[in-house]
Amino acid sequence: MWDEAHLRLGVTAAGIALWGWNVDTDRLTMDEIGYDLWAIPLDTEVTFEDLSSHIHPADRDRVRAAFNATRGIVGQYETDFRILVGDEVRWISARGRGDDEGIVGAVMYGVFLDVTGRKQAEEANELLAGEMSHRVKNLITVAGSLTMMTSRSTETKEEMAHELSQRLTALGRAHDMVRPVPGQTENAALLGDLISVLLRPYDDLGAFSGRVRVSVPRMGIGETAATNLALVLHELATNSVKYGALSAQAGLLDVSCLIEGDEAVIAWTERGGPQVAPPADDGGFGGKLLNRIIKSHFRGEVSYEWPPEGLIAKLRIPKAKLDQ
């Protein structure tokens, strides 16, 4: 048989705070768990108005109305609200029975539960769902734009399928590396990791693997920045495979990054390939895309040098833009 001592042990283990509310005097009585939950000195005489001063301002009127309405509620009721304990916000669930059911001496009884962990998990899931919805919409928009632009820059359906597939794959790799993690507020990817993953397919060329080298400081990169930088790197790598260092067996590619004041300077350096020369035009779709991303999205600059041994491209990007 369960006796009072066993029940008290169970209530304590579950973190359940017991309370009683005298509907005539407005006085509240709580057990030790209740006083600790509300961070009120033990055995302090409190009223509902006293507890109200600890309730989050955004919830205070709602909770007052809910408690006043409990006497008209038939059966069980439950109200969740926030309280302020110093700088900490706690979520409390108040549960009991309404309509004066079981009332003894004008005192209604119920429990308080600390549901902070559950509420934080719910908020994180809602934030994650909203972020994923926003990201999917953005990716669909980008994919549609790439499809239209690629169709205008290619001559055959096979060439279009190949180019579009490569660009969407680059987007996919960046998307995977910066997927949101519940409760994580920092950047989900490192710049060096992102560049290495994006360029790995261009390095896996049998006996010539290891010719793509990445050297950047440890710094994070945001979701939008990663998606756009993936497109830029893909265009540079594609051109290198077609015409530059990665088209030759002895070709080498170095990607480095230096921090100069408020800017990150990413240097793309090719050596050992065929002799190169500045293009006669802006490079077609790839060149337009690269310039538009660097200038319009990153608010940065791109410059090129054309020494005989290979291309040197420098991307100057404000550090603040890489966090976005």
Q: Does the pLDDT value for residue 94 go beyond 50?
A: yes
Which of 103-107, 234-238, 297-301 is predicted most confidently? Answer: 297-301
The number of beta carbons lying within 10 Å of the beta carbon of residue 18 is 16
Confidence of residue 205 (pLDDT cuts 50, 70, 90): very low
Q: What is the reported pLDDT for 181?
A: 45
Average pLDDT for 53-65: 86
The number of beta carbons lying within 10 Å of the beta carbon of residue 312 is 16
Q: What is the reported pLDDT for 267?
A: 92
**Domains defined for the chain, CATH in brackets:** 4-114 (3.30.450.20), 120-322 (3.30.565.10)
Q: Does the pLDDT value for residue 151 go beyond 80?
A: no
Average pLDDT, the chain: 77
Average pLDDT for 63-73: 72
Pairing of strands 189-190, 88-97: unpaired
Q: What is the reported pLDDT for 262?
A: 87
Confidence of residue 152 (pLDDT cuts 50, 70, 90): low
The HSE-up count of residue 30 (CA atoms within 13 Å, CB side) is 26
Torsion angles phi and psi, residue 287, rounded to 5: -65, -40
Q: What is the reported pLDDT for 243?
A: 79
Q: What is the reported pLDDT for 207?
A: 44
Confidence of residue 281 (pLDDT cuts 50, 70, 90): low
- How is residue 192 written in tokens? 């060096």
248-274 pLDDT, tens digit each: 777 888 999 988 888 889 999 988 888
Q: Does the pLDDT value for residue 40 go beyond 80?
A: yes
Q: What is the pTM of this model?
A: 0.49
Q: Where are the alpha helices (DSSP H) in 204-305?
A: 223-243, 284-292
Q: Does the pLDDT value for residue 210 go beyond 80?
A: no
The dihedral over CA atoms of 192, 195, 201, 202, expressed in degrees to the nearest 10, equals -110
Q: Does the pLDDT value for residue 50 go beyond 80?
A: yes
Q: Does the pLDDT value for residue 70 go beyond 50?
A: yes
The number of beta carbons lying within 10 Å of the beta carbon of residue 301 is 14
Cα–Cα distances (Å) from 102 to 7, 36, 65, 98, 111, in that order, read 19, 26, 21, 9, 14
Dihedral angle sign, alpha carbons of residues 33, 35, 37, 41: negative
Q: Number of helices and strands (H, E) in the chain?
A: 10, 13
Cα–Cα distances (Å) from 49 to 52, 208, 217, in that order, read 5, 76, 56
Percentage above 90 pLDDT, the chain: 2
Average pLDDT for 115-137: 75
Q: Does the pLDDT value for residue 162 go beyond 70?
A: yes
Q: What is the reported pLDDT for 184?
A: 45
**Angle, in degrees to the nearest 10, between helices 223-243 and 191-203:** 30
